[in-house]
Amino acid sequence: MRFVFVDRILTLDPDRTIEILKNVAATEDVFDDHFPGYPILPGALVVETFEQASQLLIGMSHDFARVGRLCSVERAAFRQFVRPGDQLRVRCTRVAGDDEAWTVSASAEAGGRLAASATLHFALVEDEAHGERLRAAVRVLRGATIDPAGRGGQA
C-alpha cells in the first residue's frame, strides 16, 4: 500500500472484527486542494480507510494466505465532515461470508460521533505478494500502542 490510511490497530478478533485509528494530519497532501481555506477529508479516502482496515482483517484472519479484492461498496453514508486534527476510530465487522467472499460493515467515528459508514463486499483470493505486504504493515501497525484518550497509558 503506497498510501496507508491506518495508523494503528487497536483491536482484532480474527474472522470477525478489527478496530483501527486514522489520525487526520493537516499536512496531508489532499488538503492542498480539498478545499483551500476549509479542508475536508474526501469521502473516497474514508472509504479507502475502510478498505485498508478490512484488508488487514481478512489477511490476518487467513494468516495472509488469502487477501481481499474489493468488489463493491454499498450504502456509503457520510454524516459529518472529517477535518485536519480529527482522529478517526474505524471499526470493520464481518457480517457474512466464507472462504470465497466476505461482506464487511464499516463505520468511522470522529470525536465520538458517527462520521461515515458503508458495506463493503470482497472476493477472497490467494496473492502471496500482497499477503506479504500486509504482513509487513501489521508488524509496524501493531508495534507501539497509543492511548486514543490521551491519558498516556496503553489503549
Question: Is pLDDT at 55 greater than 80 in this prediction?
Answer: yes
Where does the pLDDT of residue 151 fall: very low under 50, low under 70, confident under 90, or very high at 90 and above? very low
Nine-digit cell string for 33: 486542494
Contact indicator for 26, 96 with CB cutoff of 8 Å: no
Give the model confidence (pLDDT) of 106-119 as tens digits: 999 999 999 999 99
Nearest to 154 by CA among 8, 5, 3: 8
Q: Where are the domains of the chain?
A: 16-141
Where does the pLDDT of residue 2 fall: very low under 50, low under 70, confident under 90, or very high at 90 and above? low
| Active site positions, annotated | 34
pTM for the structure as a whole: 0.90
Contact indicator for 137, 56 with CB cutoff of 8 Å: yes
Does the domain at 16-141 match CATH 3.10.129.10? Answer given as yes
Amino acid in the structure at residue 106:
A
Question: Is pLDDT at 146 greater than 50 in this prediction?
Answer: no
Q: Higher pLDDT residue, 153 or 140? A: 140
Q: Which helix (H) or strand (E) holds 61?
A: helix 43-61
